[in-house]
């Protein structure tokens, strides 16, 4: 009897241990899945980090290039007699008088054109405009013409006067 009782206790203990083993195996399987998910997440985050580092490096290069271009422009600006930089544009204020046509040719030869009114701060009057904030009150030619049709005014970019 005593042997049977011990056997029954061992079988019960074995059953309990088997249940615990099964629970541990389930937990191990779950943790393995979590580990695999975390490893994939880590790989994805590492790849994303590397892409961001590459983008950042490119942006730094672009910034440095732009800074270099700005510095070169500023150096050139010192040698650009009569040119004024204002709100991302350069304006030329001649010390001598030129006709409207001569002024336009001068500007277009340098990759620009006569000024076009595109905001309410600039007040236009027929053939010339006084841009106090740019020209210091000097009379300047603007890009407004009626050379195609008399009294039909248009801007040098082809847009109509409103």
What pLDDT tens digit does each residue of the chain (162 aa) get?
787 888 888 888 888 888 899 999 999 999 999 999 999 999 999 999 999 999 999 999 999 999 888 877 766 665 566 677 666 677 777 777 888 899 899 888 888 888 887 654 444 433 333 344 556 666 778 888 888 888 888 889 888 877
Indicate the number of domains in the chain: 2
Query: Does residue 87 share a domain with residue 73?
Result: no
Could you give the CA distance from residue 27 to residue 76 in angstroms, rounded to a whole number? Answer: 72
Query: Does residue 140 share a domain with residue 108?
Result: yes
pTM over cut 0.85: no
DSSP 37: H
Query: Does residue 73 share a domain with residue 44?
Result: yes
- Domain-embedded: residue 162: no
Return the pLDDT at 128. 36
DSSP 120: T
Burial 45-56 (b: 16+ CB within 10 A, else e): eeeeeeeeeeee
Return the pLDDT at 93. 76
Return the pLDDT at 118. 63
Whether residue 64 contacts residue 56, with contact meaning beta carbons closer than 8 Å, is answered with no
Cα distance between the two ends of the chain: 114
Residue where a domain stops, chosen among 79, 114, 144: 79
- Domain-embedded: residue 160: no
- Domain-embedded: residue 65: yes
Strands 139-141 and 144-145, by their bridges, are unpaired
Query: Does residue 74 share a domain with residue 16?
Result: yes
DSSP 137: T
Query: Does residue 120 share a domain with residue 65?
Result: no
Residue 115 burial (C-beta neighbours within 10 Å; 0-12, 13-18, 19+): buried
- DSSP letter for each residue of 40-108: HHHHHHHHHHHHHHHHHHHHHHHHHHHHHHHHHHHHHHHT-TTEEEETTEEEE--SS---HHHHHHHHH
Owning domain of residue 16: 1-79
Query: Does residue 38 share a domain with residue 100?
Result: no
- Residues 115-137: tens digit of each pLDDT: 887 654 444 433 333 344 556 66
- Domain-embedded: residue 161: no
């Amino acid at each position: 009897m005593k042997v049977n009782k011990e056997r029954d206790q061992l079988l019960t203990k074995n059953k309990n241990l088997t249940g615990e083993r099964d629970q541990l195996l389930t937990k191990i399987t779950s943790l393995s899945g979590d580990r695999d998910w975390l490893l994939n997440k880590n790989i994805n985050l590492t790849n994303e980090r590397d892409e961001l580092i590459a983008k950042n490096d490119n942006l730094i290069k672009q910034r440095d290039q732009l800074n270099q271009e700005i510095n070169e422009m500023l150096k050139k600006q010192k040698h650009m007699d009569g040119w004024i930089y204002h709100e991302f544009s350069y304006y030329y204020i001649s010390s001598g008088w030129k006709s409207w046509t001569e002024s336009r040719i001068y500007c277009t030869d340098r990759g620009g054109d006569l000024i076009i009114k595109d905001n309410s701060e600039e007040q236009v009057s027929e053939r010339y405009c006084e841009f106090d904030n740019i020209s210091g009150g000097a009379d300047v030619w603007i890009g407004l013409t009626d050379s195609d049709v008399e009294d039909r005014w248009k801007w040098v970019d082809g847009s109509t006067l409103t």
